Amino acid sequence: MTNYMNTHTAANGRRGRTSKENTRGKRMVVFFPLRLRRLSLNCRNLTGSEEVAECLLSGGAFRVIMAMSQERSACLGLSVLLLLGACIKEAVEGCSCHPAHPQQLFCGAEIVIRAKISGEKIVSPSNSSSPYMKMIQYEIKMIKMFKGFDKAKDIQYVYTPVFSSLCGVKLDSNNKAGYLLSGGMWSDGRITIGQCDLVESWDNLSLSQKKNLNYRYQMGCECRINTCYTVPCASTGENECLWTDWLLDNSLNGEQARQYACIRRSDTTCSWYRGGPPPEKDFLDMTDP
């Protein structure tokens, strides 16, 4: 997900003429941005930074800036702060994650568990009143741990930002739903999860994915998975697997993501491995490791 910032919000928010009764500072808020805007419009077709700077200086921007009084400087500084605040607000309105195969998310996580969500509440640090510092504390019942045995023994809570714009994850805590959860561990021991982690309803996982969590993903953590976006897409080494789901299916949850793991073979090369089909009745495919 790409974030966009609208840079024409606060600076052009107040236009029009001011009466003579207005104070000097108020006239400045209108005159100065409009004056610079007209100068910037005259220079908008130039591409080089040096050409733009020369155009603005020759048009009088330098004289306008140098002529400002201390009062006008304060007004401009406030306008700039408001503009930056608006830009920052726009910047955090989205969460962007780099496309990753489930195995990559598994290998990059500190903790990977299967758990049921039994409750949730909003918590915030004791030294901060900012709403952006608030976290959702999910109470969980851990069913199985796939990774992180050396970091945690029994996990009772996981944490995620309240806002989805900060990559927070919303989980179903009403029906005690089962999830695959992966994430990192803070210095205080708290486990954090987010949209860029491997967080999925357990029922939505394929049988191969559930098997791969046990040991196949871990077997391939030394391998490199290269995402193919366009053709040609060629391997750059023997320790690499080409992930073509996006190229062939226009999806990050295609056949390779749901059925395959990139594992290292005995000759140190890496290649995709597909597990066997679902077992029929009570018979198991003994050739499937």
Question: Which tokens sit at 220?
Answer: 């391939």
Nearby residues of 155 by Cβ (< 8 Å), 6 or more positions away: 111, 113, 115, 140, 142, 145, 191
The tens digit of pLDDT for each residue in 32-60 reads: 444 444 444 445 454 444 454 455 444 44
Question: Which tokens sit at 162?
Answer: 């309240």
Amino acid in position 90: E
DSSP string, 206-241: -HHHHHIIIIIHHHTTTSEEEE--SSS----STTEE
When mean pLDDT is compared across 32-41, 131-140, 156-165, 230-239, the lowest value belongs to 32-41
The CB density around residue 33, as the number of other CB atoms within 10 Å, is 19
Query: Measured between alpha carbons, how far is 161 from 152 in angstroms, rounded to an integer?
Result: 21
Return mean pLDDT, the chain.
74
The tens digit of pLDDT for each residue in 71-119 reads: 444 444 544 444 444 444 444 458 999 999 999 999 999 999 999 999 9
Global pTM?
0.63
Query: Measured between alpha carbons, how far is 137 from 92 in angstroms, rounded to an integer?
Result: 21
Place of tokens 């490199």: 224
Backbone angles phi, psi at 124, to 5 degrees: -140, 150
- When pLDDT is averaged across residues 200-225 and rounded to a whole number, the result is 95
- When pLDDT is averaged across residues 214-231 and rounded to a whole number, the result is 93
SS3 135: strand
For position 283, what pLDDT does the model report? 38
* First-to-final CA distance of the chain: 37
SS3 32: helix
Asked if 217 and 102 count as a contact pair (C-beta separation under 8 A), the reply is yes
The tens digit of pLDDT for each residue in 187-209 reads: 888 999 999 999 999 999 999 99
For position 212, what pLDDT does the model report? 96
**Is residue 9 predicted with pLDDT exceeding 60?**
no
- Fill in the DSSP letter of residue 131: G
